Every structure is written in C-alpha cells, then in structure tokens.
Amino acid sequence: MFNKLVCGAEAISHYTGRCVAWLTLMMMILTCLVVVLRYGFDFGSIALQESILYFHALVFMLGAAYTFKDDEHVRVDVFYREFSATKKAWVNIIGGIFFLLPFTLYTAYLSLEYVGASWRVLETSQEPGGLPFIYLLKTLIPLMMVTLIIQGSADIIKNIGVVNAARTAKGMN
C-alpha cells in the first residue's frame, strides 16, 4: 500500500516536472520574442514582459516538488554525502518530519488568506497594460506547498522503507 502511495506521489511530481520543462522552453522563446520586438522593432509590451514573470513563477513553484523528488534540491551536505544509505534515510525522515512538513503546512496556512484576498478582488497588475491575473499567480503559493507536502510525505515513507529494509537485512545476518 505504501509503495502505491509513493509511486502515485512521485508520478504527480514527475508529471508536473515534465510540464515545467515545456514551460521553461516557452519562457525562453517568449523572452527572445520580447527582446526582438523591443530592440528590433521598437515595440514594447508590459503584458509580454509580465508573462515572462508568470512563467518564471510557474517553473520555480511547480518544479520544486519535481526537483525534490529527484534529490536535486539544494542541500548543505558536509557530512551527508559520506553517510550510509541508512543514515541518509534517517536524516531525510527527521528533516521531512521536523522541517519540511511543518514549514510547508505553515506556509500553506498563512498563504490562504493572502491568496483569498487576491481572489476576492480579482487582483490585477498595477501596471497599465499588465496582465489581469495576479490572483492566479498568488494561487501558486499554496499549490507549491501542497505538491511539496505530497512529495515530502512520499519521501518520508520511502526512507522509512529504506530503514526497515536495512533492519530486516541486519536481522537476517
């Protein structure tokens, strides 16, 4: 059962990560378009420039769980890299339970009123000609927290499996 939960959570992270890869390509193309229009044709658009910011936010916030899943996140690992698989699993379990989950749950909770206020007024850009979707952009905050909670929980379960497998193997010897 735990295996299915982990696989399901990692499938969600993998799928969002693949979508983010395409968003990154679209962001790059859009950036090139803005530069060509501005310097080649003396045409500027606040909406196009803001859309690059939206894409950047999408890439960063939706890619966080995918990055975490593949263990590509920033880690200060002065000692971690030398640890055995079991010690690494313990560090991951403790870090997930005492740092990742409380932080993401608290941030998700705090963001709800902030995002709700934005949705109530359908917040738009303060720039003339800007995009009218600030409320959607702010919605990425709790969405990012949810994806990190799902992936973090899967990581904790997976590492508990590593610890249990090591204990079982040790008991057989």
Secondary structure (3-state) at 62: helix
DSSP tally for the chain: helices H, then strands E: 6, 0
The pLDDT, as a whole number, for residue 77 is: 74
Q: pLDDT by residue (tens digit) across 59-92?
A: 999 998 888 887 767 777 778 778 888 999 999 9
Q: Helices 101-120 and 134-172 sit at what angle, rounded to 10 degrees?
A: 160
What does pLDDT average to over the chain?
89
The pLDDT, as a whole number, for residue 173 is: 57
Answer yes or no: is pLDDT of 119 > 70: yes
Q: pLDDT by residue (tens digit) across 145-164?
A: 999 999 999 999 999 998 98
Q: What is the rounded average pLDDT of the residues 84-113?
A: 94
Confidence class for position 14, pLDDT limits 50, 70, 90: confident
Domain ranges of the chain: 2-172
- CA-CA-CA-CA torsion for 117, 134, 123, 48, nearest 10 degrees? 180
